[in-house]
Amino acid sequence: MRALVTGGAGFIGSTLSERLLEQGASVRAIDAFTDFYPRPLKERNLENLRGRAGYEFVEGDLREVDLNALLDGVTHVFHLAAQAGVRRSWGKEFAVYTGLNVDSTQRLLEACVNQPIERLVYASSSSVYGDEVAIPMTEMALPQPVSPYGVTKLAAEQLCHLYHVNFGVPTVSLRYFTVYGPRQRPDMGFHRFFSAILDGRPLVQFGDGLQTRDFTFVADAVTATAAAAVRGVPGRVYNIGGGSRVSLREVFDLITRVSGRKVTIDQQGPQKGDMRDTYADTTRARQDLAFAPSVTLEEGLRAMWRWMEATKA
């Protein structure tokens, strides 16, 4: 396998790149180092990758780089590059999201037409579902996103579908459900909670704390992503969830136990665009990808806590 990983300096992208190298693939990664969070954090993600045999890193924006050169020799594309974050996707920031999530995807897909690509795996999101979908969420449900971010992820997912139907690009889309673990972005919940504990600050709770999420450890998400490049059925969408659906209040109890620290809560109002509940039906991923998450939420949180302590030291 000769892989292209977009968003290769990010949380999941860098972890995936390491896994692919371990499996014997060569990896060309690209990242634009957008200012969503500090560049040094992404550079740290690359410390175990730079200089390794079979690894090449390119800095650039998918909307501007020579995609023919980038795709030269590539057999598999893992498209993880995106502007993340539900809460920042409103108002004037929306143009950033459409540019980085939709325009970049369309340009990449266009470049893949008539290329000998065996699979293009697109990293979608559970944010496409919205709040009107029955639990557990199946891939056949009607997506109705409740955030601009979710709209752009769904739009890019639909672009993957139409390029498969019309041009035969072998796309596979994965709807990740709240991925967490070492290297998690600093804007995400568990990172913010552990950072607050380490700094002696209260944990911010938006809403009543009864909202639920299906949490997926990054190693399990990466396993599914690598499998999708080999076993994924072109044109299909797959839910990738860890099977750890818990409420925010239960998360705080777990974090208290894992950290061994006293935790205080700062309750604030609900945030626009935040989904109330997520829970993945992963039947299709189990059948096609042999997906079987292996890391419990407590095990994953302990791994993340150790990483947070080490990086904050």
Catalytic residues: 149
Rounded CA separation 156/260 (Å): 42
CA angle 144/161/108 to nearest 5° reads: 110
Left (φ > 0), alpha (ψ -120 to 50) or beta: where does 74 sit? beta
DSSP 8-class letter at 247: E
Rounded CA separation 207/192 (Å): 16
| Rg value, the chain, Cα | 19
Alpha helix segments (H runs only) across the chain: 11-22, 39-45, 67-71, 94-97, 104-112, 148-167, 189-199, 218-231, 248-259, 283-289, 297-312
